[in-house]
Amino acid sequence: MELDRKNVLLILLLIVLAGSALRIYNLGAASIRADEGGTIYFAERPVQELVNIFHPYYDVQPPLFYSILHFWIQAFGKTAFALRLLPALLSIIAIPIIYLLGKELFNDKIGLFAALIFAISQANIRFAQTLRMYPLLILFALLSVYFLMQYFKNPSHRNFALYILFAVLSVYTHYFAGFLLGAEFLFAILFYKKYGIKFSKIFPMFAISAILSAPAGWLLYHQLAIKTYTEVVYFGDDPLAKVTLLAPNQSNIFARLGLIFYQLSVGFLQFNLKSRLFLVVFISSIAVFSLSLIAGIKHMYYTRKEKLWLLLLSVAFPPICLALLWSLPLNNGHTLIPVLTYTRYLLFISPFYYLLVAYGALEGIPQLVRGIKLQKAAFAIILLAIVFFNAVSLNYYYTLDSKQENWDALSSEISKDYSQGEPIFLMSASYFYNFEQAFNNGANVYSVPTNLLLNNATFADAYRSIGVINESNSCDALKILDEKTKSVWFIDAPITFKSKPAGMIKDCFLKNGFSVSRVIESSYFNQKGENITDMRVYRFEK
C-alpha cells in the first residue's frame, strides 16, 4: 500500500523530531575531550591560515569544517553545548536527505525506513554529539550521490554543477571522501549507457571534481610530511598496529572491518560474553542485518541491478581502500596510521548501508515470506529489533559515556589547591587543548619529556613534543625548576595507555626531594560495570 503525500510528510517530520531529540539530549554534558580540543584550536586560527596550502597547518584533516566552526564560534560562543550544536544540526539535516535519496532510488517507504535507522543510530548520534567533521562529511556525501543520480535522470547544467559542488566540498571536509568519489566514478563508467548518457557528458563532471579537489591532495601530502613521534609513542607496542589476514584476533583486517559494520548497525557496545543482554543483541543483530542485506541484494540483483551497484560500491569501495591503506608499511615496520580503522572514518557510508538494509526489509524479505500478514509481521520484527538494538546502546551512551575523560571535574579539583605560578606537567601534549578549555587559571603547562611550554606552542610543536619516555629523560622536568619551586603538578592522562613511563616520572620527583601531597583521580564505569580510572593527577611538594 502506497503512502499519500500528507502521511509521508507527517512520518518524516516525526522521524526528524525523534532524531533531533536524540541528538540534542545531553549535548553539553561531557567535557571537551578526545580530538575536540584540537578542533577548537584550529577553528580559532585565522581562516587564511587554514586555507593556505603553501604553508599547511599540522593536522591530517582538510580545512573546511574548521573554517565553518571558526565563524560558528564567533556567533554562538564556546560552551560545550554551543560547539556541539553545529555537528548535531548537520546530522539532523542529513535525515531528510537520506529520505530523498531513498525515494529517488526506490520509493517513499524505503526512504523513510532508512531515514529512521539513521535517526536512531547510536553510532551517528554519538558523533553528532562530537565536535568533529563527520556529520558534515555525511551530509556532503549524501548530496553528491543524490545529485549524481539526478544528473543521470536529467543531465542539466544545474545537476552537473551541484554534483561537482558537493563532491568537492566532501573532499575538503575529509580526505576519505575521495574513496566515495572513486566509487561514484566506477558506477558512472559501468552504467552511463544504461541511463542513455554519453561518456562525453560524464567524464568532464568527474574531471572537474578531481581538478578542484587537487589542492586537498597537495595539502595532505605536506601535512603528512610534518614529522612527529606520535606513531612511535602511541602505537609502537600496540598489537593492533600489526596487521594480519589470517590470525583470529583484533589485528585481522576482516575482523576490524566487520567490527565497523557491527558498530554501524547497533552502535558502540562493549564486547561482554558474560552478559546475556549483549549476547542477545550481538546474535540477533547479526541475524537481522545479515538476512535483510542478503534478501535485499538478491532481490535488487534481478530488478534494480544498477542501483544495487551504486549502493554496494558506496558501501564497499571505501572500506576496501581503507584496508589497502592499513596494509601499507611504515618505516618503523608498523602500518600506515593504525587508527584509520576507527568507525568514525567510515561513518559516511552508513546512510548507503541503511538504504540496503531498508530495501531488504521492505522488498527482499517479503519475497521469502508468503502472505500479507506474515510479511507485515516480519517487517515489524525487523523494525522493533533495530529500535531495541540502538535503545540498548543509547542507554549505555547517555548514562556512561559523558563520564569519560572528565576534564571539567578534574580541573575543578585542581583549582581547589592550585597556587599561582605552580608549573603543570602533562603526560601527553595532545590532551593540552582539552585541559585548556576546562582550566582557566593561567598556569604554565609543559609537555613531558621535552619540557615544551604548551601555552604558546603551535599544534605541530605540541605533537613533536610527544616522545618516548625512558630512564635518560624521565627526570628532565626537574631541569626547568628552580630553588623557589616548592610544588608542581603532574597530569597522567590517559593512564591506561602508558602507565609505566608515568611511573618513571613520578619516581623521579619522589627521589629528588618531593613528596605526594594530593592525588586526584577521574573514573567512570564501563559497560561491564568495571570502575576505570582514566586520568590521575599528582601534586608534589618539597
Q: What is the pLDDT of residues 374-387, one digit of tens each?
A: 999 999 999 999 99
Reduce the DSSP state of residue 32 to 3 states and report it: coil
Q: How crowded is residue 328: how many other Cβ atoms within 10 Å of its Cβ?
A: 10
- Vertex 153, ends 142 and 107: CA angle to 5°? 60
Q: How confident is the model at residue 528 (pLDDT cuts 50, 70, 90)?
A: confident
By mean pLDDT, which of 55-64, 74-83, 166-175, 242-251 is the weakest? 242-251
Looking at the DSSP bridge assignments, the partners of residue 539 are 489, 518
Question: Quick one: 395 and 456 in the same domain?
Answer: no
- Mapped onto helix, strand or coil, the DSSP state of residue 453 is strand
Predicted pLDDT of residue 304: 93
pLDDT of the residue at 58: 66
Phi and psi for 252 in degrees, rounded to 5?
A: -70, 125
Is a pLDDT exceeding 70 seen at residue 330?
Answer: no
- Look up cell 584533516; give the residue: 61
Separation of alpha carbons 240 and 251, rounded Å: 5
Q: Is the peptide bond before 423 cis (omega within 30 degrees of 0)?
A: no
| Per-residue pLDDT tens digits for 67-113 | 999 999 999 999 999 999 999 999 999 999 999 999 999 999 999 99
Structurally, the chain folds into a number of domains equal to 2
Q: Which of 37-41, 158-162, 238-242, 302-306 has the lowest mean pLDDT?
A: 238-242
Query: Residue 409's CB: how many other CB atoms inside 10 A?
Result: 15
pLDDT at 497 over 80: no
* Domain final position from 403, 421, 451: 403
- pLDDT given for residue 334 in this prediction: 46
Express each pLDDT in 196-245 by its tens digit: 899 999 999 999 999 999 998 888 877 776 655 555 455 545 555 555 65
Residues 283 and 426 in one domain: no
Element (H, E) at 29: none
- Decide if 83 contacts 37 (C-beta within 8 A): no
Angle at 105 (CA atoms; ends 373, 265), nearest 5 degrees: 65
Q: Are residues 269 and 136 in the same domain?
A: yes
Continuous segment of H or E residues that includes residue 522 = strand 515-525
472 and 357 fall within a common domain: no
Q: Are residues 304 and 417 located together in one domain of the fold?
A: no
Asked if 26 and 143 sit in the same domain, the reply is yes
Tell me which residue range forms the domain holding 85: 5-403
Which range (188-192, 205-209, 335-339, 417-421) has the least confidence?
335-339
Task: Tell me the average pLDDT across 503-522.
Answer: 90
- What are the phi and psi torsion angles at 357 (to 5°)? -65, -45
Whether 442 and 419 share a structural domain: yes
Q: Which amino acid is at 408?
A: D
Task: Give the helix, strand, coil percentages of the chain, each rounded to 5.
Answer: 65, 5, 30
| Average pLDDT over every residue of 247-276 | 82
Across 259-379, the runs of DSSP E, i.e. the strands, are none
Task: Count, in order, helices (H) and strands (E) of the chain.
Answer: 21, 6
Rounded distance, CA 160 to CA 52, Å? 28
Q: Are residue 397 and residue 468 in the same domain, yes or no?
A: no
Final residue of a domain: which of 358, 386, 403?
403
Contact 463, 58 (CB under 8 A): yes
Query: Edge-to-edge strands of the sheet including 445-447?
Result: 452-453, 445-447, 424-426, 487-492, 531-541, 515-525
* 340 pLDDT higher than 50: no
Q: Do 178 and 42 belong together in one domain?
A: yes
Instruction: Give the angle 59-336-339 at the CA atoms, nearest 5°.
Output: 65
The whole-number pLDDT of residue 227 equals 58
Within 8 A by CB and 6+ apart from 433, the residues are: 37, 38, 40, 41
Tell which of 347, 373, 403 closes a domain. 403
Residue 392: phi and psi, rounded to 5, are: -65, -50
In this predicted structure, what is the pLDDT of residue 442?
A: 83
pLDDT at 128: 98
Same domain, yes or no: 292 and 324:
yes
d(CA 236, CA 248): 21
Is the confidence at residue 34, as pLDDT, over 90?
Answer: no
User: What average pLDDT does the chain have?
Assistant: 88
Percent of the chain with pLDDT over 70: 89
Strands 445-447, 424-426: pairing is parallel
> The domain spanning residue 502 has which CATH number?
3.40.50
- Categorize the per-residue pLDDT at 161 as very low, low, confident or very high, splitting at 50, 70 and 90: very high
**Residue 288, Cβ neighbours under 10 Å: how many?**
23
| Amino acid at residue number 366 | P
Are 205 and 310 found together in one domain?
A: yes
pLDDT for 295: 96
Whether residues 178 and 315 share a domain: the answer is yes
CA distance 500 to 519: 17
Q: What percent of the chain has pLDDT over 90?
A: 64
Q: 111-125, 307-321, 425-439: which range is least confident on average?
A: 425-439
Region label for 481, one of left (φ > 0), alpha (ψ between -120 and 50) or beta (otherwise): beta
pLDDT for residue 47: 86
